[in-house]
């Protein structure tokens, strides 16, 4: 009786036919308005609980984190990725001593490979020089930057993993980026089941996903060390605000990675049995009324306090929170900051008027991405 409410369930199908599986975000928004911050939907006979908004996330991901930090093991993903009990990796591993060990090992390895250190910054800057070269070649014209940025992000993670730079024309790189692109589109789409075969390849390339997901971040501490004057620091704060605001609006990983309850528990007064799949709808905190100065518009002031200094509101949870939160946040931040600042100092990126109004409707896949677009590139007069 105390299970979260939800739409009427159709036998065999559950609520699948009531959702647009190609892009369920709008449907989930509609259901939040009707049923509240915590509600249930059924995939076939399987119940899922959708969690929305900062208050519910605090309870799910932080204060009761260990009740909610399992990962479903009996879904198609796990078979496709060949997740095995003795070697489950990190992202899809259930809450267990093996997951803890693998997470600790991964963090330590990333640190050993230079995360948070000058050497990682140098690797990223070296990769940016390749991007800059391509953009310079196209200066004065228009281009679709999609593949260029995928390549750059993939190459950075390859640098970390293999200590080698891949040329953008390299067949291996082209194949892997294309493979990721295709699979990530199919994965969440209605035809996902038919394309299960792709998933077998996907596991091998998941590290590339890391790069593509990250859209480039930064550890601003490194930057601060190099900046001694106050005015420059002020600019950095604004830059940081712009980058965070871009990520807030982009809502890159809207539904996080599904969780599962590891025991019977309660959430905002509702009873949630052990083994229930949980969807943290992270995007609902990123534009939640009451949490932001300007929740529904692009405005970097969302990350500036009254004195114009950078601050991060609690509702900024694109990397999730608690024990399962994203392990690559540091690398992602470093990449985004270095790439954005370097490119914006050198180039102007302009929307081509002949292409009409930009269509901001995102394409739903593992991540939310923009529809294909072209941009004009111009070298800036002062660099
Ligand atoms: C903008 C870039 C990125 C975003 C928005 C992002 C977001 C996320 C989210 C939402 C989760 C799920 C957390 C949860 O289950 O509660 C996650 C998990 C994870 N991410 Fe990221 N991520 C990004 C980049 C990266 C990078 C660069 C790496 C690796 C270097 C990485 C590695 C991981 C791993 C290993 C997990 C699983 C952690 C665990 O289950 O213990 N991510 N990420």
Centre of ligand 1 to C-alpha 259, Å, is 13
Per-residue confidence (pLDDT) for residue 79, from 0 to 100: 64
Query: 38-43 and 46-52: which strand pairing?
Result: antiparallel
Mean pLDDT is lowest, of 1-5, 180-184, 293-297, 334-338, for 180-184
Per-residue confidence (pLDDT) for residue 165, from 0 to 100: 76
* Top-level class of domain 16-379: mainly alpha
Q: Can you tell me the ipTM of this complex?
A: 0.98
- The Cα–Cα gap between 278 and 382 comes to 50
- The Cα–Cα gap between 242 and 39 comes to 33
To test the ligand 1 pocket, which listed residue (286, 328, 339, 368) has its Cβ within 8 A of the most ligand atoms? 328
Q: Residue with structure tokens 């593992």?
A: 366
Sheet holding 46-52, edge to edge: 38-43, 46-52, 277-281, 259-260
Domain layout of the chain by residue ranges: 16-379
- pLDDT greater than 80 at residue 175: no
Confidence of residue 82 (pLDDT cuts 50, 70, 90): low
Beta bridge mates, 277: 48, 260
Ligand 1 atom 13: residue of nearest CA:
325
Q: For the segment 93-142, what is each residue's pLDDT rounded down to a tens digit?
A: 899 998 999 999 989 888 888 887 788 888 899 889 999 999 999 999 99
Q: Tell me the CA distances in angstroms from 57 to 128, 248, 344, one per residue in order.
A: 36, 16, 35
Beta bridge mates, 350: 376
- The Cα–Cα gap between 199 and 292 comes to 38
To test the ligand 1 pocket, which listed residue (73, 254, 326) has its Cβ within 8 A of the most ligand atoms? 326
Q: Kindly report the pTM of this predicted structure.
A: 0.84
Q: For the segment 256-314, what is each residue's pLDDT rounded down to a tens digit?
A: 999 999 999 999 999 999 999 999 999 999 999 999 999 999 999 999 999 999 999 99
**CA proximity to 19, closest of 283, 364, 302:** 364
Q: For the segment 183-193, what is each residue's pLDDT rounded down to a tens digit?
A: 666 555 544 43
Q: For the segment 26-49, what is each residue's pLDDT rounded down to a tens digit?
A: 999 999 999 999 999 998 888 999
- The Cα–Cα gap between 377 and 190 comes to 37
Q: Tell me the CA distances in angstroms from 77 to 197, 274, 301, one per residue in order.
A: 11, 20, 39
The pair of structure tokens assigned to 173 is 């790189």
Across 354-367, average pLDDT: 87
Across 11-38, average pLDDT: 90
- The Cα–Cα gap between 249 and 35 comes to 25
- The Cα–Cα gap between 155 and 369 comes to 19
Q: Who wins on pLDDT, 244 or 184?
A: 244
Per-residue confidence (pLDDT) for residue 88, from 0 to 100: 76
- Give the ligand 1 atom nearest the CA of 259: 15
- The Cα–Cα gap between 251 and 296 comes to 12
Per-residue confidence (pLDDT) for residue 111, from 0 to 100: 86
Per-residue confidence (pLDDT) for residue 192, from 0 to 100: 43
Angle at 243 between CA 188 and CA 160, to 5 degrees: 70
- pLDDT greater than 60 at residue 362: yes
Query: 265-267 and 277-281: which strand pairing?
Result: unpaired
Ligand 1 atom 7: residue of nearest CA:
319
Beta-sheet strands, E only, within the chain: 38-43, 46-52, 142-143, 259-260, 265-267, 270-272, 277-281, 347-350, 363-364, 368-369, 375-379
- pLDDT greater than 90 at residue 85: no
- pLDDT greater than 50 at residue 254: yes
Per-residue confidence (pLDDT) for residue 181, from 0 to 100: 67
Residue 281's SS3 state is strand
Per-residue confidence (pLDDT) for residue 184, from 0 to 100: 62
Centre of ligand 1 to C-alpha 320, Å, is 8
- Give the ligand 1 atom nearest the CA of 282: 10
Centre of ligand 1 to C-alpha 86, Å, is 22
Q: 62, 325 in Cβ contact below 8 A?
A: no
Indicate the average pLDDT of the chain.
Answer: 83
- Cα dihedral sign for 156, 162, 168, 174? negative
Centre of ligand 1 to C-alpha 258, Å, is 12
On whether 158 is known to bind a ligand per the annotation, the reply is no
Per-residue confidence (pLDDT) for residue 76, from 0 to 100: 63
Q: For the segment 140-155, what is each residue's pLDDT rounded down to a tens digit?
A: 999 999 888 888 888 8
**CA proximity to 303, closest of 312, 294, 295:** 312
- pLDDT greater than 50 at residue 202: no
- Cα dihedral sign for 169, 173, 175, 180? negative
- The Cα–Cα gap between 112 and 291 comes to 37
């Amino acid at each position: 009786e105390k299970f979260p409410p939800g739409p009427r369930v159709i036998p065999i199908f559950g609520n699948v036919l009531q959702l647009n599986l190609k892009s369920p975000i709008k449907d989930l928004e509609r259901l939040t308005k009707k049923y509240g911050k915590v509600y249930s939907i059924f995939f076939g006979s399987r119940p899922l609980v959708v969690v929305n908004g900062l208050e519910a996330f605090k309870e799910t991901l932080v204060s009761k984190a260990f009740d909610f930090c399992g990962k479903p093991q009996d879904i198609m993903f796990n078979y496709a990725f060949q997740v095995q009990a003795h070697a489950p990796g990190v992202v899809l591993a259930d809450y267990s001593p093996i997951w803890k060990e693998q997470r600790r090992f991964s963090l330590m390895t990333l640190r050993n490979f230079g995360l948070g250190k000058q050497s990682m910054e140098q690797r990223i800057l070296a990769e940016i020089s390749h991007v800059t070269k391509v953009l310079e070649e196209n200066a004065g014209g228009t281009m679709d930057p999609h593949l260029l940025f995928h390549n750059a992000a993939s190459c950075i993670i390859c640098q970390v993993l293999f200590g080698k730079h891949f040329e953008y024309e390299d067949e291996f790189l082209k194949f892997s980026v294309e493979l990721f692109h295709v699979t990530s589109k199919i994965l969440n789409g209605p035809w996902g089941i038919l394309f299960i075969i792709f998933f077998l390849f996907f596991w091998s390339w998941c590290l590339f996903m890391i790069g593509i997901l990250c859209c480039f971040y930064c550890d601003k501490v490194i930057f601060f060390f190099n900046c001694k004057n106050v005015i420059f620091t002020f600019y950095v704060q604004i830059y940081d605000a712009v980058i965070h605001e871009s990520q807030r609006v982009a809502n890159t990983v809207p539904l996080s990675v599904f969780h599962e309850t590891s025991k019977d528990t309660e959430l905002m007064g509702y009873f949630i049995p052990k083994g229930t799949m949980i969807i943290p709808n992270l995007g609902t905190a990123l534009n939640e009324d009451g949490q932001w100065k300007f929740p529904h518009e692009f405005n970097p002031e969302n990350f500036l306090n009254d004195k114009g200094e950078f601050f991060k509101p609690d509702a900024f949870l694109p990397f999730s929170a608690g024990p399962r939160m994203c392990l690559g946040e540091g690398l992602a931040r470093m990449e985004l900051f270095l790439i954005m600042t370097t490119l914006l100092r050198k180039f102007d990126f302009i929307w081509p008027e002949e292409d009409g109004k930009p269509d901001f409707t995102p394409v739903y896949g593992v991540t939310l991405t923009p529809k294909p677009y072209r941009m004009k590139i111009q070298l800036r007069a002062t660099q």
